[in-house]
């Protein structure tokens, strides 16, 4: 592993927020937009950790071209895994507050400012997310994704769905590390849901801000990278482990629906999964939105 992000800051200007981004086979234009959105924040006391596994399409030149020493680029010599990379960002982060941003999304200019100020005012909150603005492959707004705001509503929703968007969260590093950091499930990729569930069991406090602070890109490459069947199984594993005893009728019905859709052929299963998540938030058909765009495989989910 090597640092290609320029010289480290001195102790006099230690960052107050560490932005964590993991990269594997990125779309270079999307990555440039994501990093530029960090550079354009109203809050400037940050560092950004970009941890990349090797592939035929590397993002190092995009990072270097931006020329900001606060962008700390860490290249692994060999393929690791998503969870390993996420924990690597935690180990490298110098700030107590860590903001996650995926390499195909973008932060609104006031995101870090508003989340930092909220967490300063509410020291009991460990994890803070926001609403998200859904954009298409070309970056055009297509709708919103809504999440519950207060702690009780978030934990109640956790029995049915994942009530925080991972790319929108800012959390206290000490709380996440005390919970064991990111951990795999036996079935596959649900590392964020697994982490929130463990934190909830430990009594951590959650919140979501009411405004969209992240532009979340819905695109075909994102879906190609998603092993849909394993993802659903991983979500069911987390529910069975942490939430089945707290489920009401609605949550149990949702779990039954998820088990039933596993019987569908892969194309139908993927379309239904996208529709289940976005049908209330996007005008029109979100599956058709995906089909209209173009894209390449990105780092959102992989095994």
CA distances from 130 to 10, 11, 66, 271 (A): 31, 31, 27, 25
Cα distance between residue 129 and residue 117, in whole Å: 13
Cβ neighbors of 111 (< 8 A, separation 6 or more) are 41, 99, 130, 168, 213, 214
pTM: 0.85
- Which tokens hold the place of 134? 């859904």
Cα distance between residue 291 and residue 34, in whole Å: 23
Cα distance between residue 134 and residue 136, in whole Å: 7
pLDDT of residue 106: 97
* Domains of the chain with bracketed CATH: 2-292 (3.90.550.10)
What's the number of CA atoms in the CB half-sphere (13 Å) around residue 184?
12
- Which tokens hold the place of 173? 């590093």
Asked if pLDDT for residue 278 goes beyond 90, the answer is: no
Q: Which of 80, 45, 64 is nearest to 3 (CA)?
A: 64
Strands in the chain per DSSP E: 2-3, 17-23, 46-52, 71-75, 97-100, 106-107, 125-135, 141-145, 170-172, 205-217
Lowest mean pLDDT of 133-137, 213-217, 268-272, name the range: 268-272
* Average of per-residue pLDDT across 187-213: 95
Asked if pLDDT for residue 191 goes beyond 50, the answer is: yes
H/E segment holding residue 242: helix 228-242
Asked if pLDDT for residue 300 goes beyond 60, the answer is: no
pLDDT of residue 74: 96
Strands in 41-90 per DSSP E: 46-52, 71-75
**How does pLDDT run across 65-104, given as a tens digit for each residue?**
999 999 999 999 999 999 999 999 999 999 999 999 999 9
DSSP assignment of 189-228, as one string? --HHHHHHHHHHHTT-EEEEEEEEEEEEEP-HHHHHT--H
Q: Which residue has the higher pLDDT, 294 or 47?
A: 47
**How does pLDDT run across 54-68, given as a tens digit for each residue?**
999 999 999 999 999
pLDDT of residue 53: 94
pLDDT of residue 295: 32
**How does pLDDT run across 109-163, given as a tens digit for each residue?**
999 999 999 999 999 999 999 999 988 888 888 888 899 999 999 999 999 999 9
Asked if pLDDT for residue 183 goes beyond 50, the answer is: yes
């Amino acid at each position: 592993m090597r640092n290609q992000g320029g010289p480290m800051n001195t102790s006099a200007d230690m960052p107050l927020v560490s932005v964590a981004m993991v990269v594997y086979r990125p779309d270079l234009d999307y990555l440039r937009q994501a990093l530029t959105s960090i550079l354009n924040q109203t809050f400037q006391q940050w560092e950004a950790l970009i941890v990349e596994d090797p592939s035929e399409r590397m993002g190092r030149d995009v990072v270097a071209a931006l020329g900001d020493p606060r962008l700390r680029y860490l290249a692994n010599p060999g393929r690791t895994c998503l969870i390993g990379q996420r924990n690597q960002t935690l180990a490298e982060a110098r700030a107590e507050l860590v903001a996650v941003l995926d390499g195909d999304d973008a932060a609104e200019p006031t995101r870090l400012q508003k989340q930092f100020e909220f967490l300063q005012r509410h020291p009991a909150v460990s994890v803070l997310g926001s609403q998200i603005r859904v954009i298409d492959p070309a970056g055009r707004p297509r709708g919103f994704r809504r999440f519950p705001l207060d702690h009780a509503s978030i934990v109640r929703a956790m029995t049915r769905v994942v009530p925080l968007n991972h790319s929108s969260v800012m959390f206290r590093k000490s709380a996440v590390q005390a919970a064991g950091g990111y951990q795999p499930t036996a079935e596959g990729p649900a590392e964020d849901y697994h982490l929130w569930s463990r934190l909830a069991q430990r009594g951590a406090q959650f919140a979501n801000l009411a405004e969209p602070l992240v532009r979340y890109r819905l695109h075909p490459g994102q879906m190609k990278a998603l092993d849909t069947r394993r993802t659903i199984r991983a979500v069911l594993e987390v529910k069975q482990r942490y939430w089945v005893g707290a489920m009401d009728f609605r949550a149990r019905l949702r779990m039954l629906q998820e088990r039933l859709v596993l019987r569908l052929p892969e194309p139908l299963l993927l379309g239904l999964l996208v529709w289940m998540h976005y049908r209330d938030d996007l005008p029109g058909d979100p599956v058709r939105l995906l089909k209209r765009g173009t894209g390449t495989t990105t780092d959102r989910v992989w095994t």
